[in-house]
Chains A and B, each alone.
Chain A
Amino acid sequence: MNIYVCIKQVPDTETKIKVSGDGNWIDTAGIKWILSPYDEFAVEEALRLKEKNPGSTVTAISAGPARVVDAIRTALAMGADNGIHVEIPETADSNLAAKALAGALKKEAKVDIVFSGKEAIDDGAAQGSQLIAEYFGIPYVTVVLNAEYSASSVKCKREVEGGAFEMIEVQLPALIAAQKGMNEPRYASLPNIMKAKKKEVKALKMADVGASESDQKIRFKNFQLPPPKQAGKKISGDPAAQAKELVRLLHEEAKVI
């Protein structure tokens, strides 16, 4: 099988976000970049599918500035065979990124299945997976907790709200967007990290994949940090008095119950 996984590089979850000088992006200086956590599940799922189907290859694709090659190397170190990087601007939106990734997929000889994370933890837009599938012309299932693969279709357990699930059958080729818990992503071994450094990552420009800056449909601006919280009230007394006072405040002052 020709298995593809679309990944994104994002700031580490512990990053303290600062706004850039012009207020229209974040200050990227000093940020530690990681493979977006949901994408780890996508890479792992791709690798497991490859292992069940000898002769398969896994190709990791990412769109972004030069730095995202590191995320591709992470996927290669986990066991992906090939990497493709499409260079797009730092401030590209989901639409431009998806056009670029779908364009890169279209250049491949045969695509049997595409994996991705259900969202990236930077802008959290949860648009990329659907847009890639749409532009590549395949169906998608998002927020997938479990997948059973057959030759022509995939049965997916999709998480919806309130602890409910849907069982969805989708015909291949399709895009499957992973939810946390779909599997247990492996750690890259040291030898594999070394090997990954030597693997070639194919470099493409937007023009190579039929994308352009005009594919950007939205732009983020006027970033703000959340206003510092006013110091809250500490409620003192013995537990019974604390409970009584807290409920009174929630009822009479905050009026939330």
Chain B
Amino acid sequence: MATGAKVFVIAEHRDGRLKKSTFELLGASSAAGNETHAILLGDGVAEMAKELGHYGAAKVHLVQNAALKHYTSEAYSKAIIPILQSGGAEVVLASHTPTGRDLMPRIAARMNVGLASDCTQLSFDGGKIKVRRPVYAGKATCEVEFLGSGPQMATVRANALGIPKPDTGKSAEVIQANADLGDLKTKVLDLAKGSSARPDVTEASIVISGGRAMKNAENFKILEEMADVLGAAVGASRAAVDAGFRPHRDQVGQTGKVVSPSLYIACGISGAIQHLAGMRTSKCIVAVNTDGEAPIFQVADYGVVSDLFTLVPLLKDEFKKVKDH
């Protein structure tokens, strides 16, 4: 471990399950030979430490407190910072999820260091990280240089690193920590679960999006049915959102979500520059459009010039055959 760094990963969980994006961070860190720590906060979450070990955490810092049951930046940062400081963290990683992006700037400010957000490339070199991130919603990318001393901090986009295979033979040492949370100025009153069982567009490994050509909100049902066969999320272009077909949280593009799934299927989306900016880092892009000249075909790995209302039900059946096989 001579060349490795002390890497601390903020573990994230929702509805009693650890996030796949946490496993990505643990896997990348441990594969590079780092001393990999996970920080696990919550209430009644001790059981999750085992799984963090399977994915590469050598040590799990566990803080349990009723005030940590639901995430708030205030309580989480108060619990995390002493662990980073006493543990001599050299690298601090979290996923660029709603929690990670809300939390990490506050920790960076308190540690008086910089933060590289939403990285899509991460590598380790002699105890330091090297990161690249999209800017202008993916119209360009750049490296991030950390100035000054202190730990290097980054949030990493979900699906950017790939999920490692768990090794159930590995286990992590669990270190119980206490947190002095003091007076808190923010409190979670209530949680409203999503109405959908489908994954979020930013986290799904397959995203199926519809554009203005979907014509109305009801027609998205055919995309939802296909999504359910694949365990995919359903997204939408700005045109479809502005037309009221889908809520804004489903919007993919520069003024919506930026996604990087392994498969992105664009149905009836022409491919405006601000939409392409939100999905062009997808590993495989499929475009379905009646207009063979639509700009979306310039970024598509596979293009199908066809009417989506005819093609999508057929596609769903074909996907089903592969899945059932």
Contact = CB atoms under 8 A, between A and B. Distances in A.
B43 interface: no
Contact of A218 (B147, B247, B299): B147
Interface in A88-109: 93-95, 98
A14 B272 CA distance: 9
A31 to B, nearest CB: 10
A102 B4 CA distance: 37
B142 A159 contact: no
B299 A170 contact: no
A122 B108 CA distance: 21
A155 interface: yes
A142 interface: yes
Interface in A146-183: 155, 159-171, 174, 179-181
A250 interface: yes
Contacts of A212: none
A26 B74 contact: no
B158 to A, nearest CB: 10
B64 interface: no
B138 to A, nearest CB: 7
A169 to B, nearest CB: 5
Contact of B137 (A124, A214, A249): A124
Contact of A17 (B140, B317, B321): B140
A241 to B, nearest CB: 9
Given A122-B136, A166-B188, A93 B318 contact: no
A219 B298 contact: no
A93 B114 contact: yes
A169 B187 contact: yes
A127 interface: yes
A95 B98 contact: no
Scoring B141, B185, B187 by chain A CB atoms within 10 A of each residue's CB, the highest score goes to B185
A68 interface: no
A140 interface: yes
Nearest to A225: B140
Interface in B192-230: 192-196, 198-200, 202-203, 206, 230
Interface string B292-304: 1000011111111
A166 B70 contact: yes
B151 to A, nearest CB: 11
Contact of A250 (B147, B188, B302): B302
**Interface residue tally of chain B, by bracket?**
35 or more
Interface string B230-249: 10000000000000000111
Scoring A11, A131, A181, A234 by chain B CB atoms within 10 A of each residue's CB, the highest score goes to A234
Contacts of A171: 185-186
Given A134-B106, A247-B319, A235 B304 contact: yes
Nearest to A235: B304
Contacts of B248: 179-181
B263 to A, nearest CB: 4
A16 B273 contact: yes
Interface residues of A, number: 78
B150 to A, nearest CB: 9
Interface stretch (B28-36, B85-93, B306-314): B306-314
A142 B102 contact: yes
Contacts of A37: 255
A30 to B, nearest CB: 15
A243 B102 contact: no
B223 to A, nearest CB: 15
B165 interface: no
A244 B318 contact: yes
Nearest to B74: A139
B203 A161 contact: yes
A214 B110 CA distance: 16
Contact of B138 (A38, A131, A222, A226): A226
A73 to B, nearest CB: 22
A57 B254 CA distance: 32
A44 B73 CA distance: 26
Contacts of A244: 318
B304 to A, nearest CB: 5
Contact of B144 (A13, A169, A218): A218
B139 A225 contact: yes
Contacts of A165: 191-192
B162 interface: no
A223 B142 contact: yes
Nearest to B277: A13
A217 B188 contact: no
A159 B286 CA distance: 29
B97 A161 contact: yes
Closest 9 CB pairs of A and B: A217-B114, A163-B194, A218-B114, A243-B314, A130-B105, A247-B318, A161-B200, A125-B117, A167-B190
Interface of B: 14, 70, 72-74, 97-99, 101-102, 104-106, 108-110, 112-118, 134-148, 185-196, 198-200, 202-203, 206, 230, 247-249, 251, 254-256, 258, 262-263, 273-274, 277, 280-281, 283-287, 292, 297-307, 310-311, 314-315, 317-319, 321-323
